[in-house]
């Protein structure tokens, strides 16, 4: 190896090379001594003088080179390249000269050996001088002002692995100084969190194909971790959150994605369900107490740092390898101790940081919980708990997600503890408006002299309860209703209702009427749609939370022992003390409950007397949805009582719109043309009711079509018998379905509710009432209604009656007389009932006949309508249609739905047209 190589040579290398060269020179000298010793001495003196001169020249050259290299980086790089080239050339030349010397020393004469020895000594002195100059130039290059600008490759080329001394790896370690040492476990964790970050970024951009691929990688890493020892708790945390995320994606959200991402999301949902079943217990433990579940991974004992010793070359401290002597550090940071007097200072700092993007809300909650344990007085505890409730609600700032279960349960417990403190200490109250909130408890107590010694704390118990109620409803909206998690979540409603009752007792005690009305409305909305048994169970559970000697003023225990009395007491309080919106909603809830208890006439009378139809169009969307639900419940109540015509009229407006889901708040219907507006879709989803409050739409359609069948089939029979197809249409959807069924060339056995009703309608129109009855009874949806046997018996009687009417209207033109006994036997009806039906047909002049009660027969009359009478009938029908169209147009113009009320109104709303007509008649009489 050449001694001119700069990269990997050091002092030891230079000395070894010089010693080898010196040995060869000594060998040559011994040979030349035998021939002539005098000439050898002279040659050595000449060579030493020449070497000294050349070494001085090389030193001066090296100094000039180092100065020039320190001026600019470009010149240094060029010189280093030239040096490397010259070193390669010198190396090759030196090897050639060495070989020549060995060959010539054995064969040449003494005279030639002397010249060669002189040249060797001269080259040796030159090489030594150049090596010294190059080492000095390298040191000057390293210490130069621009040495930090060099790249690692240019500053110090990698040494050859064949050189003695340090290798290139050791030299690079010296340059770096510090290197991170990671175990296989740490590398796996880094990769694990990297995959999770990638999945979160992909989910935020709805890139579900990327999420699906990364999910497979995440499972592989988790499997390796479990085989190595322990699965990371963060895997269970992320799996739980991912399960909630994919299960919360409804059909509308999947349709909004493209085809590839939609398929990827569906496949991911199935895989997440499959994997979640393997870790059901762990996911359940995490959701119950996330902090306790994550605690083993978070609280790992710190590895003690090894103390370095003098002369130690490398020590690993905290996973970092460091060269040199490291002083041991054993001092641990001391935790700050908070005194009760510093609580208000920390609360002020928390309030100032609230709402900022950089605020760690989870850390705030943890710190406030610590302050709550430090607080000593009731005033301090209430101040901290009010701040803690606000911080818990700040966790969920958007409307696209619901509040985490652990935070919701924590807020519920905090509200219970606040009520406990307020009940125990009557000298402290929480109010919405405070003149001045003091940070010192002594100042607050001094200011309470103006309020009869009552210390006021700013806050709102009702607002906290409303937010808690809204978050509970939002969670039910987003959880899959067919999953067990929905049932588990619904169990928390009992605890929420208990909290409402306790809060009502507190508000009644301090006398806040407006807040009490808002709270009672929330309580009413939790019970109005439920059966009596569920209401009674919730009420008993709530009253057990109160002391036995305490009773509520609005709903005393003695007068509200039944669900009907309880709801009536709540509604009456809202009628007297609530604002307009609360009174409207209370009335609708009251009507809904009455209809649910099969009290049709009372519910109908309350609806008509309230005149809600005139003002409901101006209410908010939630109130309009409640109105639609009330109308549907009234229709179902009429059907359960056998009032077919009233049920059909109540369900007509809702069932003919084609937007039943949207009108009842049970879903969002996609527009026919265009796409969803994201903002509007988000608002519409907030109005969707939880699944357990839904009305069965299939049952609603079945009731409406059955009622339409009983009303339309006789009308169609009368129109066909009179050869006049222009009779009025009662239900257009039913007519369209029946016409579609008639156009079918082949009719198979019925498979769904519509097909059962359509085939029953055809059988009833043909007079086969027995087949119609079998088909109607075969519908399985009737089992969802209470008293199924009673409803089926009502339907059987109605089928027989309408079958008799259809028979008489269809075949009246083919009979001269019909026996009543024969009709009673054919349709399996009592004779008295047959007589009533025939008499009703005669009174309405639907058939032209006479009733012979002596012979119990119906005698038909032949009446042929001439052309003029047909034209008169047609004109009257067209006039009626035109009148109805004008009424609808007038309603749209005046924004009212009641035509009679519109006729009585003017622009001022105070003068009635009836009075104007009476005044005009009086003037005419005077004239």
Query: How does pLDDT run across 391-441, given as a tens digit for each residue?
Result: 999 887 776 788 889 999 999 999 999 999 998 888 888 888 776 566 666
Across the range 25-33, mean pLDDT stands at 42
User: What would you measure as the largest C-alpha separation in the chain, in angstroms?
Assistant: 177
Across the range 747-757, mean pLDDT stands at 90
What is the distance between the alpha carbons of residues 661 and 668, in angstroms, rounded to a whole number?
7
* Sole residue written with tokens 């909004």: 256
Contacts of 470 (CB under 8 A, 6+ apart): none
Find, among 570, 562, 433, 577, the residue nearest to 500 by Cα.
Answer: 570
Q: How confident is the model at residue 159 (pLDDT cuts 50, 70, 90)?
A: very low
Angle in degrees, CA 619, 620, 624, rounded to 5: 75
Does the structure show a pLDDT above 80 at 378?
A: yes
What is the distance between the alpha carbons of residues 676 and 682, in angstroms, rounded to a whole number?
10
Of 860, 892, 909, which marks where a domain is finished? 860
Interior/surface letters 746-768, b for 16+ CB within 10 angstroms, e for the rest = eeeebeebbbbbbbbbbbbbebe
pLDDT in tens, 489-498: 999 999 999 9
| HSE-up of residue 662 (Cα within 13 Å, Cβ side) | 11
pLDDT in tens, 449-475: 566 778 888 889 999 999 999 999 999
What is the distance between the alpha carbons of residues 540 and 528, in angstroms, rounded to a whole number?
16
pLDDT at 329 (0 to 100): 38
The region, left, alpha or beta by phi > 0 then psi within -120 to 50, assigned to residue 763 is: alpha
* Whether 776 contacts 800, CB under 8 Å: no
pTM of the full structure? 0.60
Q: How many CB atoms lie within 10 A of CB 911?
A: 12
* Strand segments (E) across 420-542: 428-431, 455-458
Q: How confident is the model at residue 722 (pLDDT cuts 50, 70, 90)?
A: low
Of 860, 879, 902, which marks where a domain is finished? 860
Task: Identify the sign of the CA torsion 181, 183, 185, 188.
Answer: positive
DSSP 71: H
Residue 668: inside a domain, yes or no?
no
What is the distance between the alpha carbons of residues 28 and 119, in angstroms, rounded to a whole number?
12
Q: Which tokens belong to 369?
A: 């919980």
DSSP 752: S
What's CA 796's distance to the chain center, in Å?
49
pLDDT at 103 (0 to 100): 41
* Whether 631 contacts 612, CB under 8 Å: no
Q: Which tokens belong to 543?
A: 């009253």
Domain count, the chain: 2
| HSE-up of residue 487 (Cα within 13 Å, Cβ side) | 3
% helix / strand / coil in the chain, to the nearest 5? 70, 5, 25
**Which residues face 818 on adjacent strands?**
858
What is the distance between the alpha carbons of residues 644 and 709, in angstroms, rounded to a whole number?
10
* Strand, helix or coil for residue 850: strand
pLDDT in tens, 790-846: 999 999 999 999 999 999 888 887 888 889 989 999 898 999 999 999 999 888 888
* Whether 415 contacts 465, CB under 8 Å: yes
Does the structure show a pLDDT above 70 at 904?
A: no
Of 236, 259, 288, which marks where a domain is finished? 288
* Whether 603 contacts 637, CB under 8 Å: yes
Q: How confident is the model at residue 154 (pLDDT cuts 50, 70, 90)?
A: very low
Interior/surface letters 306-329, b for 16+ CB within 10 angstroms, e for the rest = eebeeeeeebebeeeeeeeebeee
pLDDT at 181 (0 to 100): 65
What is the distance between the alpha carbons of residues 856 and 822, in angstroms, rounded to a whole number?
10
Could you tell me what percent of the chain has a pLDDT over 70?
A: 68
Task: Identify the sign of the CA torsion 589, 592, 597, 599.
Answer: positive
Across the range 545-570, mean pLDDT stands at 87
pLDDT at 336 (0 to 100): 56
Q: How confident is the model at residue 502 (pLDDT cuts 50, 70, 90)?
A: very high
Q: Which tokens belong to 75?
A: 């010149």
Length of the chain: 927
Q: How many CB atoms lie within 10 A of CB 27?
A: 13
Find, among 632, 519, 520, 626, the residue nearest to 571 by Cα.
Answer: 520
First-to-last C-alpha distance (Å) of the chain:
142
Contacts of 838 (CB under 8 A, 6+ apart): 808, 820, 823, 849, 851, 858
Residue 427: inside a domain, yes or no?
no
Q: How confident is the model at residue 299 (pLDDT cuts 50, 70, 90)?
A: very low
How far is residue 458 from each of residues 371, 372, 449, 652, 709, measured CA to CA in Å? 18, 17, 17, 51, 62
What would you report as the CA-atom Rg of the chain, rounded to the nearest whole angstrom? Answer: 49
Burial (CB count <10 Å: 0-12, 13-18, 19+), residue 120: buried
Residue 428: inside a domain, yes or no?
no
Point out the least confidently predicted range of 10-14, 615-619, 726-730: 10-14
How far is residue 554 from each of residues 423, 467, 606, measured CA to CA in Å? 19, 23, 22
The most confident of 85-94, 146-155, 644-653, 718-727, by mean pLDDT: 644-653
Residue 230: inside a domain, yes or no?
yes
What is the distance between the alpha carbons of residues 710 and 757, in angstroms, rounded to a whole number?
11
pLDDT at 561 (0 to 100): 86
Find, among 629, 630, 635, 633, the residue nearest to 652 by Cα.
Answer: 635
Residue 914: inside a domain, yes or no?
no
Residue 262: inside a domain, yes or no?
yes
Across the range 566-580, mean pLDDT stands at 92
Point out the least confidently predicted range of 217-231, 481-495, 525-539, 678-692: 217-231
**Domain carrying residue 263:** 189-288
Burial (CB count <10 Å: 0-12, 13-18, 19+), residue 305: middle
pLDDT at 296 (0 to 100): 52
pLDDT at 473 (0 to 100): 93
Angle between helices 208-228 and 233-247 (to 10 degrees): 150
Q: Which tokens belong to 789?
A: 């046997």
pLDDT at 674 (0 to 100): 61
H or E element: which one contains 461? helix 461-478
Task: Identify the sign of the CA torsion 766, 772, 774, 780.
Answer: positive
Across the range 30-46, mean pLDDT stands at 43
pLDDT at 607 (0 to 100): 93
Residue 492: inside a domain, yes or no?
no
Sheet containing 314-317: order of strands = 178-180, 320-323, 314-317
CATH number at residue 831: 1.10.10.10
Q: Which tokens belong to 484?
A: 């067990």
pLDDT at 600 (0 to 100): 94
The mean pLDDT of the chain is 74
DSSP 638: H
Contacts of 829 (CB under 8 A, 6+ apart): 800, 801, 804, 823, 837
Does the structure show a pLDDT above 90 at 56?
A: no
Residue 527: inside a domain, yes or no?
no
Q: Which tokens belong to 635?
A: 């229709």
Higher pLDDT, 659 or 625: 625
pLDDT at 510 (0 to 100): 86
What is the distance between the alpha carbons of residues 639 and 637, in angstroms, rounded to a whole number?
5
pLDDT at 777 (0 to 100): 93
What is the distance between the alpha carbons of residues 229 and 185, in angstroms, rounded to a whole number?
10
Higher pLDDT, 146 or 894: 894
* Strand segments (E) across 814-876: 817-819, 849-852, 857-860
pLDDT at 863 (0 to 100): 67
Point out the least confidently predicted range of 52-61, 370-379, 486-495, 681-690: 52-61
The most confident of 293-297, 724-728, 871-875, by mean pLDDT: 871-875
* Strand, helix or coil for residue 281: helix
Q: Which tokens belong to 436?
A: 């001045």
Give the pairing type, strands 857-860 and 849-852: antiparallel
Q: Which tokens belong to 862?
A: 């032949």
Does the structure show a pLDDT above 80 at 576?
A: yes
pLDDT at 798 (0 to 100): 93
What is the distance between the alpha carbons of residues 874 and 872, in angstroms, rounded to a whole number?
5
Does the structure show a pLDDT above 70 at 71?
A: no
pLDDT at 531 (0 to 100): 92
Does the structure show a pLDDT above 70 at 10?
A: no
What's CA 868's distance to the chain center, in Å?
69
């Amino acid at each position: 190896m050449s001694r001119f190589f700069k990269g990997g040579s050091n002092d030891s290398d230079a000395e070894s090379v010089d010693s080898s060269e010196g040995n060869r020179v000594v060998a040559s000298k011994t040979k030349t001594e035998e021939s002539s010793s005098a000439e050898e001495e002279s040659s050595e003196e000449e060579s030493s003088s020449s070497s000294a001169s050349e070494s001085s020249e090389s030193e001066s050259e090296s100094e000039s080179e180092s100065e020039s290299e320190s001026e600019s980086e470009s010149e240094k790089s060029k010189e280093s390249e030239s040096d490397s080239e010259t070193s390669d050339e010198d190396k090759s030349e030196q090897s050639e000269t060495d070989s020549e010397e060995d060959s010539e020393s054995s064969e040449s004469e003494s005279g030639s050996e002397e010249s060669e020895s002189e040249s060797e000594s001269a080259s040796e002195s030159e090489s030594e001088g150049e090596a010294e100059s190059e080492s000095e130039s390298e040191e000057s290059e390293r210490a130069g002002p621009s040495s930090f600008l060099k790249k690692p490759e240019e500053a110090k080329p990698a040494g050859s692995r064949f050189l003695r001394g340090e290798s290139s790896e050791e030299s690079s370690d010296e340059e770096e100084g510090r290197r991170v040492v990671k175990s296989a476990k740490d590398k796996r964790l880094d990769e694990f969190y990297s995959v999770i970050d990638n999945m979160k970024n992909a989910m935020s951009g709805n890139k579900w194909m990327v999420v699906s691929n990364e999910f497979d990688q995440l499972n592989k890493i988790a499997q390796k971790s479990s085989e190595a020892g322990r699965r990371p708790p963060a895997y269970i945390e992320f799996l739980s959150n991912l399960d909630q995320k994919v299960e919360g994606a409804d059909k509308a959200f999947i349709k909004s994605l493209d085809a590839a991402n939609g398929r990827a999301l569906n496949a991911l949902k199935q895989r997440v369900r499959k994997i979640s079943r393997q870790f059901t217990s762990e996911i359940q433990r995490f959701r119950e107490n996330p902090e306790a579940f994550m605690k083993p991974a978070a609280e790992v004992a710190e590895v003690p740092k090894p103390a370095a010793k003098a002369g130690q070359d490398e020590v690993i401290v905290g996973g970092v390898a460091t060269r040199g002597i490291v002083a041991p550090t054993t001092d641990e940071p001391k935790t700050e101790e908070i005194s009760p007097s510093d609580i208000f200072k920390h609360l002020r700092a928390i309030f100032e940081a609230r709402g900022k993007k950089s605020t760690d809300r989870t850390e705030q909650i943890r710190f406030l919980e610590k302050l709550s344990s430090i607080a000593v007085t009731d005033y301090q505890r209430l101040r901290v708990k009010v701040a803690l409730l606000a911080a818990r609600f700040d966790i969920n700032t958007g409307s696209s997600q619901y509040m985490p279960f652990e935070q919701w349960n924590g807020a519920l417990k905090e509200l219970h503890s606040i009520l406990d403190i307020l009940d125990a200490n009557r000298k402290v109250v929480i109010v919405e408006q405070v003149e001045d909130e003091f940070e010192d408890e002594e100042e607050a107590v001094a200011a309470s002299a103006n309020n009869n010694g009552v210390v006021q704390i700013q806050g709102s118990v009702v607002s906290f309860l409303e937010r808690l109620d809204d978050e509970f409803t939002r969670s039910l909206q987003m959880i899959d209703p067919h999953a067990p998690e929905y049932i588990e979540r619904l169990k928390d409603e009992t605890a929420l209702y208990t909290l409402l009752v306790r809060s009502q007792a507190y508000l009644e005690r301090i006398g806040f009427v407006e807040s009490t009305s808002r709270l009672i409305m929330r309580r009413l909305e939790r019970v109005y749609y439920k059966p009596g048994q569920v209401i009674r169970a919730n009420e008993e559970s709530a009253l057990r939370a109160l002391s036995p000697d305490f009773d509520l003023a609005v709903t005393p225990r003695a007068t509200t022992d039944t669900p009907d009395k309880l709801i009536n007491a709540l509604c009456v309080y809202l009628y007297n003390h609530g604002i307009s919106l609360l009174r409207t909603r209370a009335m609708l809830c009251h009507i809904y409950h009455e209809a649910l208890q099969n009290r049709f006439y009372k519910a109908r009378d309350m609806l008509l007397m309230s005149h809600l139809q005139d003002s409901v169009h101006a209410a908010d969307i939630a109130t309009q949805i409640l109105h639609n639900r009330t109308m549907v419940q009234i229709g179902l109540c009429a059907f359960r009582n056998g009032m077919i015509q009233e049920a059909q009229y109540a369900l007509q407006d809702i069932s003919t719109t084609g937007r039943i889901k949207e009108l009842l708040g049970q879903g969002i219907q996609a527009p026919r043309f265009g796409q969803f507006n994201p903002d509007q879709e988000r608002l519409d989803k907030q109005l969707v009711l939880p699944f357990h409050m839904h009305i069965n739409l299939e049952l609603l359609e079945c009731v409406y079509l059955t009622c339409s069948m009983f009303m339309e089939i006789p009308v169609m029979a009368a129109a066909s018998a009179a050869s006049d197809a222009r009779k009025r249409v009662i239900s257009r959807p039913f007519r369209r379905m029946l016409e579609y069924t008639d156009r079918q060339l082949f009719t198979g056995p019925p498979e769904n509710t519509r097909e059962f009703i359509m085939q029953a309608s055809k059988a009833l129109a043909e007079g086969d009432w027995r087949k119609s009855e079998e088909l109607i009874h075969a519908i399985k949806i009737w089992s969802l209604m209470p008293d199924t046997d009673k409803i089926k018996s009502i339907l059987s009687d109605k089928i027989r009656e309408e079958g008799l009417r259809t028979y008489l209207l269809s075949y009246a033109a083919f009979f001269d007389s019909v026996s009543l006994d024969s009709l009673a036997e054919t349709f399996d009806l009592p004779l008295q009932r047959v007589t009533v039906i025939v008499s009703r047909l005669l009174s309405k002049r639907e058939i032209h006949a006479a009733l012979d009660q002596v012979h119990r027969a119906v005698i038909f009359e032949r009446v042929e309508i001439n052309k003029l009478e047909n034209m008169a009938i047609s004109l009257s029908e067209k006039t009626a249609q035109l009148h109805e169209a004008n009424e609808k147009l007038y309603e749209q113009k005046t924004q009212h739905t009641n035509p009679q009320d519109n006729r009585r109104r003017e622009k001022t709303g105070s003068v009635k047209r009836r009075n104007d007509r009476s005044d005009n008649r009086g003037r005419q009489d005077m004239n």
